[in-house]
Amino acid sequence: MTDDTIPRHVRERLEIAILTGETLQLNWAEPDSGRAWMGRVSPQALREADGHQWLDGECEGQAVQIRLDLIRNLPTPVK
């Protein structure tokens, strides 16, 4: 998977959230099962692995790894 598959503005929004310590309301799916998740995520890092781009973060006290192409909404800050 290339950087072209993830819109640049989404990646930039996530990078800003990491740098500023924002919490984001995200809706995403698990890669294997397709199970849907929604929650307040504190993003910590972006990385590439297994040919995909991932967001590492914390959601309600649990570590999460979210594949960027499986985020179903535009990341928005929680106020």
Delimit the domains of the chain by residue range. 3-77
- The pTM of the full predicted model, rounded to 2 decimals, is 0.88
Tokens read off for 46? 């972006």
C-alpha to C-alpha distance for 22 and 24, rounded to whole angstroms: 6
Tokens read off for 64? 């999460």
* pLDDT (0 to 100) of residue 11: 92
For domain 3-77, the question of CATH label 2.30.30 is answered with yes
pLDDT tens-digit map of 13-59? 999 999 999 999 999 999 999 999 999 999 999 999 999 999 999 99
Question: Which is nearest to 46 in space by CA: 29, 65, 32?
Answer: 65
